[in-house]
Amino acid sequence: MLFDSHAHLDDKRFNDDRDEVVSRAASGGLAGILNAGADMFSSARAVELAAKHDIVWAAVGIHPHDAKDAREDDYARLAAWCALPKVVAVGEIGLDYHYDFSPREVQRAVFVRQLALARETNKPVIIHDREAHADVLATVKLEGKGLTGVFHCFSGSVEMAREVLKMGFYVSVAGPVTFANARKLHEVVKAVPLERLLVETDCPYLTPEPLRGRRNEPANVRYVAEKVAGLLGMEPATLAKATTENTKRLFGIK
């Protein structure tokens, strides 16, 4: 039983068949799907989807891309959602210096504000880090004291993974682990203790091999898990059991 620890079912690319995608995941044996919010609208949709589907849980938060649109009263709304039973994390939050869709100082301010929100609401965080490794690590170290969470779709080095583990955080691996040029990520997978590893799709993005080029969906998390199990020389069922237990432990899912 696998758990897709990071999906965007609220994305418009699922508008025509969202219920079928969820049923396909359930009938394919997924234990759960955690739908991450990216802005206020998608966070609201994540909350709705979690209320509608037994196997869906929600995270709410403002992605660095959308940090420029964050308003002061958004934080009270995020906090109110965090009180709902199926809202299990603040995310995704972080820094994205690849696209720089929001000015960096705004990204940092909104990130820090949401780390504080996670502390106030006693939730773990889901961290997005793209080409901002040093600043994300420094910010979490300084402003994330007492917090736990996951670095989703991990793209850093083994050294960075060790820092993340030292802070008590988890490392989540997505479709890129199946790509031909993923040597660095393969080394990371081997360096992370099994009890700190999660798997995810980040769908509809990052479709794993052998389906690359198509829209991604939660059922495809098995391709990520099979690749990771192969790298670790373990049975896919063993990897599935461990990563699902890790996801439930981190997010307090019964």
> In this structure, are residues 166 and 131 in contact, taking their beta carbons and an 8 Å threshold?
no
Applying CB under 5 A, the span of 14-22, 23-31, 74-82, 197-205 interacting with Ni ion comes to: 197-205
Q: Closest separation between CB of residue 36 and Ni ion, Å?
A: 5
- CB nearer to Ni ion: give 130 or 241: 130
The 10 Å Cβ neighbour count of residue 56 is 23
Applying CB under 5 A, the span of 49-57, 129-137, 200-208, 238-246 interacting with Ni ion comes to: 200-208
- CB nearer to Ni ion: give 145 or 212: 212
CA distances from 71 to 9, 24, 172, 174 (A): 24, 37, 29, 31
Residue found under tokens 């080095």: 157
- CB nearer to Ni ion: give 96 or 236: 96
Q: Where are the beta strands (DSSP E) in the chain?
A: 2-7, 30-36, 56-60, 87-96, 125-130, 149-151, 170-173, 197-199
Using CB under 5 A, which of 202, 204, 207, 244 touches Ni ion? 202
Q: Closest separation between CB of residue 122 and Ni ion, Å?
A: 23
- CB nearer to Ni ion: give 130 or 162: 130
Q: Closest separation between CB of residue 10 and Ni ion, Å?
A: 11
By rule CB under 5 A, what count of residues binds Ni ion? 1
> In this structure, are residues 87 and 33 in contact, taking their beta carbons and an 8 Å threshold?
no
Contact between 96 and Ni ion per CB under 5 A: no
Helices (DSSP H) in 93-157: which residue ranges? 104-121, 133-143
Binding footprint of Ni ion on the chain (CB under 5 A): 202
